[in-house]
Structure 1
Amino acid sequence: MSAHPPFDPGTVEAIAKVLGEAGSGTDISRYFKANSLLDESGESTKWRRINAVFLKSQVTTKSANQILAFIRSYLVPTRFVGKRDEFEHHRCELNAVLILHGLEYGKDGQFRHTTQARTLDEAEARAQGVRNKLAPRNTHPEVYKYCQPELMQENYFHAVFEACKGLFQRIRDLSGIEADGANLIDRVFSVEKPSLVFNTLQTETEKSEHKGFAQLLKGCSAAIRNPLAHGPKILWQGETDAADYLTLISMLHRKLDQCVKVPNQEYRHGGGV
């Protein structure tokens, strides 16, 4: 690895505070030794120890290479087997700092160059990742059911594709009708002979709501699943698109939660049960 320019003292302090929360004092001492870093700081607080050692290292080596090497060994993914959420928390906190310098620490424990963030807001938003963006939106568990592996791999293109496929599979499971795409929606959510309903279809307002939901489902297939199945991945816009698409799919799942199956096609020409 070529020499990385030294970080400014504020950056070193921010990195030290993140790392101080990622292990015990004994862990820190062990990894200092493994990375040939000598702690002569006299400090007792974990982050202050790390901060002092890192600052001294930069003065000695004229680079941040030993800091980056320490991070790779100290935050190695294998240290967090069974504690994935803890690893992701530390990684995201670290990336909120590093992205301001054009660096990113990946899930695989390797650093990559990335576009440098220009503001703190941009750095924090980019470091959050899709899962953290989805969390405040109370995303439906059926979304994660079908795309959890892809989200963990940060494969957002295929995460949305699998989540959309999962939505239509759930419609088949609820209705018992084996079809796909617009044909499935037309059969399941027909106003005259529906298989699934979430209202009585007795008023024009209820019929319009029913039709509108069916159109949203068909739009999901036409605007999301079909283009993803046939379009090149290079055209994908990344995390922002993924979070928005998955939120739409989550909303559609919530509407499906309200649906009930109509036995023996009891709705006829808009009439109630």
Structure 2
Amino acid sequence: MSYLPTAWSYSTLKEIAAVLADTADGLTGREIGDLLVRLRMEDPLPTATKRDRLAESFVAAQNRYQSAKRVITFIVAAMEPVRYRDRPDLFTLRQDRLNERLAFVGLHVNDDGKVATGAVAHTLDEASRVATSIRDELDRRRCHPEVLKYCSVEILKKAHFHACLEATKSIFDKLRSLSGLSGDGAGLVDAVLSLGKSGVPLLAINSLQTQTERDEQTGLANLLKGLNGLYRNPTAHDPRLRRSIGEEEVLEVLTMVSMVHRRLDNAMSNHD
């Protein structure tokens, strides 16, 4: 390490322990015990809850060395990438949660599982910005839950290619569910949202009483056809290496898909 770790506050130690010993997504009690033994760290409360046990071990280590050096050593050991070879999504989840806490002491866990220096956060908003992840940003944007339902694993794996594919699929699944039809792609969009000769679509996103409202209905239909052409058909047929999708693009796509879901949530059905 190229920096000298200082002592952390008790609250920081407890928060780091809470992430690593989380009930649902944290280390198991056995994993915690094994790491403490391997790293020769004290285990003052071996029968306590995982969080309290780890927090007290961190406090004991910091008191002994008068710095957070041993705590950082534990984090690095717990975040060793090889431990997550079968669960890369779990690595990203823990990394994101740790980084939001470590931002207050100017550190972060990088993609190699190492603890490195970073920007210092002083407020909750700053910590969120410093430790931002795609999922965190989607949460801040109040992304429609249906989007995350379809692609949360891909997001955690940072598989942007498949996140766009799965998110786009969610729209067409919703059209089938709302309309009772079994088609797909542009044909399904036309069958469900097109004004057609009658001017009455199976699903209407507004009252269709004015030209502006009818244009809006047609615009949504065209948008869905565009999303299908841009992200679903290409990603379904092209090799992954030919589809490079960055974080900004995947955020924009998922935000757009979220908007579509909200419009469909309030659509009025015109089929028997």
TM-score scaled by length of structure 2: 0.65
Deviation track 1:113-159 (CA, whole Å, cap 9, x = no partner) reads 99x86786999646321111011111111112211322343323212
Structure 1 window deviating more from structure 2 (226-235 vs 142-151): it is 226-235
What is the distance in 2 between the residues matched to 1:168 and 1:19? 46
Structure 1's 156 and 96: CA in aligned 2 closer, same or farther, altered over 3 A?
farther
Any stretches of 5+ residues in structure 2 without a counterpart? Answer: 19-28, 44-54, 85-89
The 3 A distance-change label for structure 1 pair 21 and 95 is: closer
Aligned to 2:110: 104
Query: What is residue 7 of structure 1 aligned with on the other side?
Result: 3
In the other structure, the counterpart of 1:257 is: 265
Work out whether 1:241 is the aligned partner of 2:241: no
**Does the 8 Å contact 2:168/2:257 carry over to 1?**
yes
* Contact persistence 1:188–1:195 (CA under 8 A): yes
Using a 3 Å threshold, how does the CA distance of structure 1 residues 99 and 131 change in structure 2: closer, same or farther?
farther
Report whether the alignment pairs 1:160 with 2:164: yes
Residue-pair matches, total = 234
Please list every run of 5 or more consecutive structure 1 residues that lacks an aligned counterpart in the other structure.
59-65, 79-83, 265-273
Between stretches 84-93 and 175-184, larger displacement belongs to 84-93
- Residue equivalent to 2:150: 146
- 1:36 maps to 40
- Give RMSD over aligned pairs: 4.2
Question: Separation in 2 of the partners of 1:217 and 1:54?
Answer: 59
Q: Which amino acid aligns with 1:134?
A: L
DSSP 3-state at the match of 1:199: coil
**AA aligned opposite 2:98:** R
Cα offset, 1:213, TM superposition: 1.2
Contact 1:20 1:50 in 2 (8 A): no
**Aligned residue number for residue 270 of structure 1:** none
Aligned partner letter, 2:261:
H
Structure exhibiting the larger radius of gyration computed from Cα positions: 1
Judging changes above 3 Å, is the alpha-carbon distance between structure 1 residues 233 and 55 closer, same or farther for their aligned structure 2 residues? farther
What's the secondary structure of 2:195's corresponding residue? coil
Residue equivalent to 2:190: 186
Q: Separation in 1 of the partners of 2:255 and 2:163?
A: 12
Give the distance between the partners of 2:5 and 2:259, measured in 1 at CA: 45
TM-score, normalised to structure 1, is: 0.65
8 Å Cα contact 1:18-1:90 kept in structure 2: no
Identity score, percent: 31
- Report if aligned partners of 2:204, 2:217 keep a CA contact under 8 Å in 1: yes
Task: Report SS of the residue matched to 2:133.
Answer: helix
Residue 240 of structure 2 corresponds to 232
Amino acid at match of 1:221: N
Spell out, residue by residue over 1:161-183, the C-alpha distance to the aligned partner (whole angstroms, 9 max, x if none). Answer: 11111111111121122222222
Residue 203 of structure 1 corresponds to 210
Q: Which amino acid aligns with 1:156?
A: H
